[in-house]
Chain A
Amino acid sequence: MISVKNLQVFRARKQILKIDQLKVAAGEKISLLGPNGSGKSTLLRSLALIEPESLQAVFYNSRDANWQIGYLMQEPYFFRGTVEENLVLPLKLRKIPERIIKKKLWEFTEKYELESLLRKNPKVLSGGEKQKINLLRTLIYEPFYLFLDEPFTGIDALTKKELNKYLQSYLEQEPGRILIYVSHELKELLKWGKRFWYLKDGEIKFDLLKEEFLKLNEHVVDNYLQLLFEE
């Protein structure tokens, strides 16, 4: 479980995030939406304990939560080295024995058809391949908490379908896993979320279940939401 209490993030003397209280229970799947600059990425990073302000405001009920967090950035960063080195890095950081790392890598290579990519420099990969490796680099250490920041933006439909499949099966493996998914596409938001957070000007304007969220369509007043539903 995750609980947030009085989370405030300031940048350049301006408050960009203000969350009084928030709770996420095991198994929850949340879609996070909001206009650009509303603080979605900052909230996601805070939940992932990346923003320094989160350390006094975001709490997990497990001790080794830090190892259990999977956060996918909009623009993935790849370290110097090969795809393989990038892929197994989180396992090495967790000091997993080499024997198990090799086994895991072999499993992943077979399951996700990575043979042709492993020796490549990640910088030469296509956009879709980058996102695939980015997602797999997170799934490889089996995080309990998944925070995905527009993970499949700008990739072709075929790759998106493939990656959606991987994510779907990962979540089904262990229903207790928590997902918070950021997107600007209604289709994606509805696919993943059972609960919806709408963030605007750094504050959560609503926190609704799927049925309630869909009802908003009938009497929506906000421009962003209006356009979202029109799509």
Chain B
Amino acid sequence: MEFIWEGIKESIRLILTGDPELYQILHLTLKVSLTATLFAAIVGLPIGAFLGRKKFWGQKVILGIFNAFLGLPPVVVGLWLTMFLWRSGPLGNLNLLYTPKAMILAQFCIALPEVIVFTAVAFSQISENFFRQVKALGANRSQQLYLLLKEVRLGLLAAVIAGFGAAISEVGASLMVGGNIYQETRVLTTSILLEVGRGNFGLAIGLSIILMLISFIVVGILTYWQRKGY
């Protein structure tokens, strides 16, 4: 039990003393995960909206595929991306392997299905009555779109947060395509793995507490917005 207490003390010390290594890792973690989430949102929100609203042949199959991708093991994403980005692979000439850009790409692949599926669910829950009501009140097309986005905004927020959660918490893909290189591609999850391997449970627990804090802060913001917006 001693090392758990040590871990908590270590995390407080790391945060309060402004440990430069920790802040460098934290900075990279947020940079990689937020950038991946941003791209996943840019690509995933319109696809999710389309899949949630438009009825077309094969729509359920496509949604089913994205649903299946929710359970995609990050390590599999990492393996495939590593093969593609390998020097002799199809995207080898981009020289992305073992760079933060490769990690962004990996986390993008993991966050994208989350954003798409959650967005599709949010849009599919908007009833036909909503569209009738906006037309009945005289809204023109751009006003209809504005009201629709306002109505689903909490669902879209949840979609983005789910994508962020999946991105920041994965370790397998980042480790494979990033390589956990000191001061280059080391993020919180890969650091925790490394410290546990070294037997530094104190530091690992400290890092895990910081990782959890980030998640709690983000979820806290979401909950606050949800309560505020009914």
Contact = CB atoms under 8 A, between A and B. Distances in A.
Interface string B152-177: 00100000000000000000000000
A79 B150 contact: yes
Interface in A37-68: 45, 48-50, 66-67
B26 to A, nearest CB: 35
A196 interface: no
A64 B154 CA distance: 34
Nearest to B146: A93
Interface in A56-107: 66-67, 69-73, 75-77, 79-81, 89-90, 93-94
Contact of A66 (B133, B138, B229, B230): B138
B129 A75 contact: yes
B136 A71 contact: yes
* Interface residue range, chain A: 20 to 34
B230 A121 contact: yes
B138 A90 contact: yes
Nearest to A64: B138
Contacts of B154: 80
B138 A45 contact: no
B230 A80 contact: yes
16 contacts: A45-B132, A50-B135, A66-B138, A72-B136, A73-B129, A73-B132, A73-B133, A76-B133, A77-B130, A77-B132, A79-B150, A90-B137, A90-B138, A93-B137, A93-B140, A123-B230
Given A48-B135, A48-B136, A77-B129, 18 more contacts: A50-B132, A50-B135, A66-B138, A71-B132, A73-B133, A73-B136, A77-B127, A77-B133, A79-B147, A79-B151, A80-B154, A80-B229, A81-B230, A90-B137, A93-B137, A93-B140, A94-B138, A141-B138
